[in-house]
Structure 1
Amino acid sequence: MRKCDVGGQAVIEGVMMRGSKGLATAVRTPSGKVEVDMKNVKPLTKRYKFLNIPFIRGIFILIDSLIVGIKTLNYSASFFEEDEEESKFELWLKKKLGDKGANDLIVTGTMMFSLLLSVGLFVGIPTVLAALFKRFGLHPIALNLIESVIRVGILILYMYLVSKLDDIYRVFQYHGAEHKTIFCYENEEKLTVENVKKYSRFHPRCGTNFLFLTMFVSIIVFSLTGWGGVIQRIILRVLLMPFVAGITYELIKWLGKTDSKLGKIIAYPGLKLQELTTKEPDESQIEVAIASLLAAEGIEYKKKIGELLKEGADILKEVSIDTYILDSQLLLGKVINKDKLYLITNRDEEVSKKSEKEYFELIQKRKDKMPIKYILKSAEFMGLDFNVEEGVLIPRPDTEILVEETLKYIPKDKDMNVCDLCCGSGAIGIALASFRENINIDLIDYYDTPKKVTESNIVKHNLKERAKFIKSDLLKVVIHQNKKYDILVSNPPYIKEEVISTLMEDVKDYEPHTALSGGQDGLVFYRRIVEESSKVLGEDGILAFEIGHDQGEEVKDLMINNGYNDIKVIKDLAGLDRVVIGTLKS
């Protein structure tokens, strides 16, 4: 069994560990990510060797632990106070002393207040209450024992009451995670959640043990001081506390190293008290404790594919993303450039820390409801792979009906000129050109992102000879150029403006508003396109639209009123109107 000096402390939603490489604080942030703050800071007794004297070093280690503890608590709390405004007093302090000076003063003040509160609770009150028994003529040793019993009783009551608070309960869970992780490390097992879960949450080198043993040592030390007045006894006990702390620290160090029966007997009461100050942690809390210890000991632990998939899926499941398993697989596959089958069959393969970091950055984007296809920068359409990114509409399966119906008007062996208007990613036009090798296609859109994405897809599908992007406000540029097409196909923005705010988060928050909004009635673009189309369509030219489920008759009427006939309204697989196709009269 490995003997080590790793120690720790639970903080708000996290764990601080002090190891051979420094002090590491790991916190689970509100976003679900584990943030690790690593400081190469040695304890006071290692920085100043003259303080490392047995029976004296304990008080300096105690003071150092208090300072570090308050600082790490402040650090962990900072992740959960972003929306809180600083008080006027805090602002005044920072103005006078600067950020560091103000923070140091607050830490010092907090520590002094904590010490005074501890003296009041565990020295002042027990001493005053024990004095009440003097009237019974008890011996000073008996009075000291009564005082000690009261002190221990207050300690146990205090621990019990605070353990009932929800926030403190979670801190006690992290306390349990800290102990279990240290036990696993001392037993020289790899630090994984499954390994750590096997170990006890009760550890002999715990601060709870230190508190109880301090009480135990103080019984012996204070019994030798006689029984004077109340004020005299309080002052004497405060003055003797460094000596008591020094003895207790040496005792704790010995308990951490011995397996003797005597050591187990001395440690037993403190271990029982840990039933109050530690609680069984969940897996996510153990992960935080592991991250802290690894950093404190300078160990680079690479997670396995299976671990990353589970963690990613759990994060996405928590925010009600139905496809959490598939999405976690797709995102990790993107990072390490492997397909889903590889991930499933190689779950024990380790992943680099760089890839792990990149993976969780993508998981965070998906957790924020960014569409998975924007994150992957890829979407399948008509069996073809297309580049996509924010700024272009993600191609939908419903739109495949528009392509399939349009293909019926394009003979396989005929040369034709086709226009894909409002092309976005270019998926419609490029799919048509991919299935009909004799057509030429112009892809028109008004914005820069569609230009970049469409041109990348033209190259991707080897269509540079037959496909070209044209930047234009609808058909203005090609009308000016006197271009003529046999077919004009378009999936224009058609959602009513008032409806956009009711769409799913991944649509309304990420997909371009310009590709969604069809104005107040959803027909703004249809009117313009129908009116302008006659200027670019040749004899018996075909106009094909994708439409909203309730727009079939309205778009059909627009086309009839502008000289189109043989108009068909075609339904999708759900039985809803999806496509309108008509022929321009000769």
Structure 2
Amino acid sequence: MGNNTNTNTNEKFKSKIGGQALVEGIMMLGPTTGAMACRLPDGTIDLETWEENNGKNAPWYRKVPLVRGCTNFVISLTKGYKYMMKSAEKQMVDDEEEDDKKKDKKKSKSEKTENVAASAAADTPAEAAADKTAEASEKSGEKKEEKEKDTVTDIFMYLGILLGVAMAIGLFVFLPKWLVGFIPSVKEHRIVRSLLEGIVKIVLFVLYMYLVSLMKDIKRQYMYHGAEHKTIACHEAELPLTVENVRKQTRFHKRCGTSFIFIVLIVSILVMCLVPFTVTWQRIVASLILLPLVVGISYECIRLAGNNDNTFTRILSAPGLAMQRITTREPDDSMIEIAIAAMKPCIPENKEEDKW
């Protein structure tokens, strides 16, 4: 592990590592390594790691301003959904294992009966060869079945992402513009209309997140979200990653995805004020076309807020930090253990690669 001592005591270390709460787990993404840690139903921690390419050798589209915002958002969305599904599957392992045990018992009983019947006569060389061929064919069939299963899983994953994006566009792009379109007095005033559409978007977003937070499973996920933030804060404070040290940290973080979404909403209001269209369907189409630009600008804003601490960046970060009072909860120690397990493999040897 690289030395985390910061030579400049006036400059607070900011890590490039980010994360996401999963189902009974946490995913962390570092410059060169990604990791997913989950608490299995039997109480053990399952850890999975993979290679990442977001360090100094990252491709150009993850470095160029504006472009990097869109690409990083799409990558995060895809990986987030993929590992969310994986973490959910891990919670069903125990049920599947029980079913497998029952099947194995039945199979062993059946095999014993067959062995008793077969013991009356020894296999001929031809029969032995046939058995080997059948066994090889069975293994080949299992591999083919596994590949087909992975393909089907990928198809469902991308369909799920598309459905999620479509629902988000419907709720936060189409609905606000459609509702405000019914107010006759603002139809022809694009700036007033853009501001009203933005207010409706923000109200819908806050209301949606609050209602979702009332669900039992989501409450636990928000606790894992808090554990993720606290662990990153502990790493940025350059303290050893222990449960005691992590527990003391704040659960609010400037560079959180919640803050990013809030900045997207604010930037979209400003951008739509410049759009000359006043007809509802034209404004919806314009919003969709300008969405990559809005995401790109928002990413640069959150980088600015994360790298600087002044009046402007504090105002910029305030709505997202306030929203984290809903989207994060204080975690218990078992959740902090999961966050630490996911964080450790993601910290690069070279500290320079970890700088935000």
TM-score, normalisation: structure 1: 0.48
| 1:133/1:143 contact within 8 Å kept | no
Pair 1:110 & 2:160 matched: yes
Mapped partners of 1:192, 1:182: distance in 2:
12
Does structure 2 retain, via aligned residues, the 8 Å contact 1:131–1:230?
A: yes
Asked if structure 2 preserves the Cα contact closer than 8 Å seen for 1:141 and 1:226, the reply is no
Instruction: Give how far 1:138 is off.
Output: 5.8
Task: Give the Å deviation of 1:67.
Answer: 0.6
The answer to whether the 8 Å contact 1:45/1:60 transfers is no
1:470 match: none
**Equivalent residues of 1:212, 1:270 under 8 A apart:** yes
Deviations 1:169-188 (A, max 9, x none): 00000000000110110010
Q: Which of the residues 77, 87, 94 maps onto 1:66?
A: 77
CA shift, 1:254, in A, is: 1.5
In structure 2, what is the equivalent of residue 35 of structure 1?
46
SS in 1 for 2:47: strand
1:306-326 CA-partner distances (Å, limit 9, x unpaired):
xxxxxxxxxxxxxxxxxxxxx
1:264 aligned to which of 301, 305, 314:
314
Deviation at 1:10, TM superposition (A): 0.3
Amino acid of the residue matched to residue 89 of structure 2?
S
Per-residue deviation, residues 357-379 of structure 1 (Å, max 9, x unmatched): xxxxxxxxxxxxxxxxxxxxxxx
Secondary structure of the corresponding residue to residue 13 of structure 2: coil
Instruction: Quickly say closer, same or farther: Cα 1:136–1:243, change in 2 above 3 A.
Output: closer
Question: Cα gap change, 1:129/1:95 in structure 2, threshold over 3 Å: closer, same or farther?
Answer: farther
Q: Is 1:245 aligned with 2:295?
A: yes
> Cα distance, 1:135 vs. partner?
4.0
In structure 1, the gaps of 5 or more residues are 86-93, 300-586
* 1:292 matches 2:347: no
**Amino acid of the structure 2 residue aligned with 1:72:** Y
In structure 1, how many angstroms separate the alpha carbons of the residues matched to 2:53 and 2:146? 30
Q: Aligned AA for 2:249?
A: Y
Cα distance per residue 1:155-196 (max 9 Å; x no partner) = 000000000000000000000000011011001011111111
Offset at residue 296 of structure 1 (A): 1.3
Is the Cα contact below 8 Å between 1:9 and 1:15 reproduced in 2? yes
**Which moved further from structure 2: 42-51 or 225-234?**
42-51
Return the letter of the residue paired with 1:164: L
| C-alpha displacement of 1:146 | 0.4
The Cα shift of 1:52 comes to 2.5
From 203, 221, 232, give the equivalent of 2:282.
232
The AA in structure 2 aligned to 1:19 is G
Highest CA radius of gyration, 1 or 2? Answer: 1
SS at match of 1:23: strand
1:26 lines up with 2:37 in the alignment: yes
2:247 paired residue number: 197
Cα gap change, 1:35 to 1:95, in 2 (>3 Å): closer
Q: Deviations over 1:99-120 (max 9, x none)?
A: 3321221111111111100000
**AA at the equivalent of 2:247:** K
Q: Structure 1 pair 49/139, CA: closer, same or farther in 2 (3 Å)?
A: same
The aligned runs of 1:185-584 (5 Å cut-off) are 185-297=235-347
Alignment coverage as a number of residue pairs: 291
Q: Which amino acid aligns with 1:7?
A: G
Shift of 1:278: 0.4
User: Is the 8 Å Cα contact of residues 172 and 278 (structure 1) preserved in structure 2?
Assistant: yes
Deviations 1:373-404 (A, max 9, x none): xxxxxxxxxxxxxxxxxxxxxxxxxxxxxxxx
Show CA shifts across 1:390-423 (max 9, x none): xxxxxxxxxxxxxxxxxxxxxxxxxxxxxxxxxx
Report the RMSD for the aligned CA atoms in angstroms: 2.0
**Secondary structure at 2:253 match in 1:** coil
Write the distance in 2 (CA, Å) between the matches of 1:51 and 1:288. Answer: 28
Q: CA deviation at 1:2?
A: 1.8
More strand by share: 1
| Residues 1:159 and 1:228: Cα distance change in structure 2 (over 3 Å) | same
1-structure distance, mates of 2:286, 2:57? 30
CA distance in 1, matches of 2:255, 2:194: 27
**What 5-or-longer segments of structure 2 have no aligned partner?**
1-11, 100-143, 350-356
Q: Secondary structure at the match of 1:132?
A: coil
| Change in 2 beyond 3 A, CA 1:179/1:235 | same
Q: Using the alignment, how far apart are the partners of 1:185 and 1:51 within structure 2?
A: 24
Change (3 A) 1:199 1:133: same
For residue 257 of structure 1, report the CA deviation from its aligned partner: 1.4
Q: CA deviation at 1:42?
A: 2.1
Letter in 2 for 1:202: F
Q: Could you say what secondary structure the match of 2:183 adopts?
A: helix
2:230 pairs with 1:180:
yes
Amino acid at match of 1:75: K
Question: What residue number does 1:100 align with?
Answer: 150
| Higher RCO (CA 8 Å, separation ≥ 6 residues) | 2
Task: Describe the superposition over 1:80-134 as per-residue Cα deviations: whole angstroms up to 9, x where unpaired.
Answer: 123369xxxxxxxx96971332122111111111110000000010010111123
Partner residue in 2 for 1:529: none
Instruction: Report the 3-state secondary structure (helix = DSSP H, G, I; strand = E; otherwise coil) of the residue aligned with 2:181.
Output: helix
Corresponding residue SS for 1:53: coil
Q: How far apart are the structure 2 equivalents of 1:137 and 1:101?
A: 48
Give the equivalent residue in structure 2 for 1:329: none
Mapped contact 2:180–2:196 kept (Cα < 8 A):
yes
Instruction: Quote the Cα distance in structure 2 between the aligned partners of 1:226 and 1:45.
Output: 41
Say whether the 8 Å CA contact 1:126–1:147 is kept in structure 2: yes
Residue of structure 2 aligned with 1:79, choices 86, 90, 103: 90
CA distance in 2, matches of 1:241, 1:44: 26
Per-residue CA shift, 1:243-278, capped at 9, x if unaligned?
000001111112111122221121011100000100
Shift of 1:20: 3.0
1:139 to partner: Cα distance: 1.8
Equivalent-residue separation in structure 2 for 1:45 and 1:247 (angstroms): 22
Code of the aligned partner of 1:234: I
Name the residue aligned to 1:131.
181
Q: Deviations over 1:30-66 (max 9, x none)?
A: 1111111000122599642245310121111111001
Structure 1 residue 280, shift from structure 2 partner = 0.5
Shift of 1:228: 3.0
